[in-house]
Amino acid sequence: MEQAEEYIRKEVRRLYWELDENCARTTLRILSRLTGVRIEDQTLIAASGMHGAGGYGAQCGLVEGALMFLAVIAESRGYEDIPGLCRRFAGEYEAAFGSLRCSDLRPGGFSEDDPPHRCEDLTCRSVQFVYDFVVRAFP
């Protein structure tokens, strides 16, 4: 698990600062690499606007990317209750992080002079949480 944690930290930094990826795409890319589950290009394109609904502050892109990934891995493993899996994840995520909303989770909220990638640490913790959930759900 420690190896996954270090990989997540390095990849979040690289994807944010070198490729300027958003949180949803970052979540999808890292989980794909950690699990070997392929994410199609269209899925990554769909995640382009999923960082709090394009910065609106709605559901967090970390949650959106996680939910998208859970559906992909569940289908690839023949798991039939994808809505139930996503509901269970959402409840566990909210219990662990206090909310599913970007405007609540984002350190310092939103302002006109926000620095880029303000959620880097939150992203690392979130992706680790999702990975741990996946490992438990699909041993």
Per residue in 30-83, pLDDT (tens digit) is: 999 999 999 999 999 999 987 766 665 678 999 999 999 999 999 999 999 999
For residue 134, give every residue at least 6 positions away whose Cβ sits within 8 Å of its Cβ, in sequence order, or none: 31, 35, 69, 70, 73
pLDDT at 69: 98
CB-CB contact of 60 with 52 (8 Å)? yes
Per residue in 88-125, pLDDT (tens digit) is: 999 999 999 999 998 888 876 666 676 667 789 999 99
CB-CB contact of 56 with 29 (8 Å)? no
Measured at the alpha carbon of residue 42, what is the angle toward residues 47 and 137, in degrees to the nearest 5? 65
pLDDT at 49: 81
pLDDT at 103: 84
Mean pLDDT of 22-29: 96
pLDDT at 126: 98
pTM of this prediction? 0.91
pLDDT at 115: 66
Per residue in 114-124, pLDDT (tens digit) is: 666 778 999 99
pLDDT value at 1 more than 60: no
Residue ranges of domains in the chain? 2-110+117-137
CA distances from 72 to 15, 57, 128 (A): 21, 25, 18
> What is the three-state SS of the chain?
CHHHHHHHHHHHHHHHHCCCCCHHHHHHHHHHHHHCCCCCHHHHHHHHHCCHHHHCCCECHHHHHHHHHHHHHHHHCCCCCHHHHHHHHHHHHHHHHCCCEHHHHCCCCCCCCCCCCCCHHHHHHHHHHHHHHHHHHCC
